[in-house]
Amino acid sequence: MAYADGLVCIRCGRKYTEGIHLEGCPRCMAAGTPANLAPSYDLDKVRSSFTPENLVGRRHDIWRYHELLPVGAAPRTGGIGWTPLMQVDTGAGRCLDGKCRDIHLKLESQNRSSAFKDRLATVSVAKAKEMGKKGIVLSSSGNQGVACAAEGARQGIPCVVLVPSDITPVSVASLRLFGACVIMAPDVEVRQQMVMAMARERGWFAVTNVCRPPIGSNPWGIEGYKTISFEIAEQLGWEVPDVVVVPASIGDGLWGVWRGFTDLRDLGLVRKAPRMIAAEVIGPLAHALECGLDYVEPVPDRPSRAYSIASSTSAYQALKALKDSGGDSCVVSDEEMVEHARLLARTDGMLVELSSAAGMAATARLMEQGKIGRDERVVVVITSHGSKTVHDLMDTGPSIPRLDEPSLERLEDILGLQS
Ligand SMILES: [Zn+2]
């Protein structure tokens, strides 16, 4: 049963009957203030079915929340979502120096393709199939492509991924193993134009953003990120944290997580929604907040090793999430991300992508500044596993000591264990 009843502009509120709106709201686009659309739902209908009691016993993946996802029938393929929410009491908590007592990590790294993008992928593919599309097409530098290729393989739909020239060999290998067609197009505008053309002229489903300035990914797929909030609330016994920290570039995840909490609040299942914090690398959202803008303008670019969130621009949806929630943005450096990624590895045995470590770095900084209180409950979304980018953390360190003979004395000498 479908509970979604159309699309609404997130800026001007205009409602559209369901259809393809590749450039978001036509009225806002014409006004020069591009904005994405978002599915709307018949909340009265949802309210009677989406209850804590009814959720008990449902499948432990994102489709347990199907009433608030924009697909008529959940795909049979499951296994995405219901990731652990881990309270930090030792390990990485030490880096925060006791400045906050109640920190949880939402381990999106434990999704099937090791990233939170699985949530967008499974909803996008299901929607593409429901619409009768020939296949899915997207531009990706890594995680999103891999997630979509994997889901395309599972749900049985062709997948074309346009990639930049600096994509990692691990990502390319994964894409090909999942059966995706991989095309290298170094220019981002070429990638976006081809995604748009395949959608408009050839009947494919465009997963990723096709606009400049960006508006975000397709509005149905973004709904998948809402399930991160549903899970957090359910895992905390229908309590909501005070603060949720999400690494952000265009802000699909940030916006989706915020929408999830507002859905729960509108349904009366929780009393409040959290402050949303964007962990950024370049800082277009921080700039927009600082200048009091109601749109996001590009800021000067700079190189960063956290390439998946190193964007000099962002989308209105991300700014709206920060403003509506009374939140903030924190711009972190590569050095801070490396420090926190290494700390998570050393103290918690957790390998995370540099962009995920941005969330921890931002949390530490905001605590230091007193912007996150000692008694507040904080959830940091660990967006991706570090296995695809582990080389980012491996550029320093001593060479491996060599042992050519079976000598315990020599081994202890190397280990520094001799008395
Ligand atoms: Zn509009």
Residue 418: band (very low, low, confident or very high) from pLDDT cuts 50, 70, 90: confident
Point out the least confidently predicted range of 106-115, 213-222, 340-349.
Answer: 340-349
Question: Using an 8 Å Cβ cutoff, are 76 and 60 in contact?
Answer: no
Tell me the CA–centroid distance for residue 375 and ligand 1, in Å: 39
Query: Does pLDDT of 297 surpass 90?
Result: yes
**pTM (global) more than 0.85:** yes
Q: How confident is the model at residue 62 (pLDDT cuts 50, 70, 90)?
A: very high
Instruction: Take residue 267 and report the two structure tokens written for it.
Output: 């349904």
- Rounded to the nearest whole angstrom, what is the distance from the C-alpha of residue 257 to the centroid of ligand 1? 21
Domains of the chain are: 85-114+221-388 (3.40.50.1100)
How far is ligand 1, taken at its centre, from the CA of residue 213, in Å? 15
- Please give the average per-residue pLDDT across 357-382, as a whole number: 93
Question: Per-residue pLDDT for 93 more than 70?
Answer: no
- Whether the per-residue pLDDT at 347 is higher than 90: the answer is no
Strands 102-107 and 85-88: antiparallel
Per DSSP, 85 falls in state E
SS3 164: coil
Residue from 416, 164, 101 nearest 308 by CA? 164
What type of residue sits at position 188? V
| Predicted pLDDT at 198 | 97
Q: Regarding predicted confidence, which is higher, 239 or 102?
A: 239
- Bigger pLDDT: 259 or 386? 259
Q: Output the CA 289–ligand 1 centroid distance in Å.
A: 21
Element (H, E) at 414: helix 408-415
Q: What is the pLDDT of residue 247?
A: 97
Between the CA of 16 and the centroid of ligand 1 the distance, in Å, is 10
C-alpha 276 to ligand 1 mean position (Å): 23
Count the residues in the chain. 419
Residue 97 pLDDT > 90 = no
Cβ 276 vs Cβ 257: under 8 Å: yes
Q: Amino acid identity of 326?
A: G
What residues are paired with 8 via a beta bridge? 15, 38
| Ligand 1 centre distance from Cα of residue 312 (Å) | 24
Find the helix or strand (DSSP H, E) in which 243 lies: strand 243-247
Q: How much distance in Å is there from the Cα of 254 to the middle of ligand 1?
A: 20
What is d(CA 140, CA 152) in angstroms, rounded to the nearest whole number?
Answer: 15
- Cα 399 from chain centroid (whole Å): 35
Q: Provide Rg for the chain, Cα atoms.
A: 22
- For residue 21, the CA-to-ligand 1 centroid distance in Å is 11
pLDDT (tens digit per residue) in 193-215: 999 999 999 999 999 999 989 99
Distance 268 CA to ligand 1 centre (A): 27
The answer on pLDDT for 90 being more than 60 is no
Give 352's DSSP letter. B
Collect all residues with Cβ–Cβ distance below 8 Å to 250 and sequence separation of at least 6: 209, 214, 216, 217, 311, 313, 314, 315, 318
> Percentage of residues in the chain with pLDDT exceeding 70?
95
Ligand 1: centre distance to CA 92 (Å) = 42
Q: Ligand 1 centre and the CA of 211: distance in Å?
A: 15
Q: How far is CA 168 from CA 2, 173, 387, 396, in A?
A: 39, 9, 11, 19
Q: What is the pLDDT of residues 233-279, one digit of tens each?
A: 999 999 999 999 999 999 999 999 999 999 999 999 999 999 999 99
* SS3 state of residue 25: coil
d(CA 291, CA 35): 19
In the predicted model, what is the mean pLDDT of residues 1-15?
91
How remote is the CA of residue 317 from the centroid of ligand 1, in Å? 12
Calculate how far, in angstroms, residue 37's C-alpha sits from the geometric centre of ligand 1.
8
Q: For residue 400, name the pLDDT band (cuts at 50, 70, 90).
A: confident
For residues 316 and 295, what is the distance between their CA atoms, to the nearest angstrom?
Answer: 6
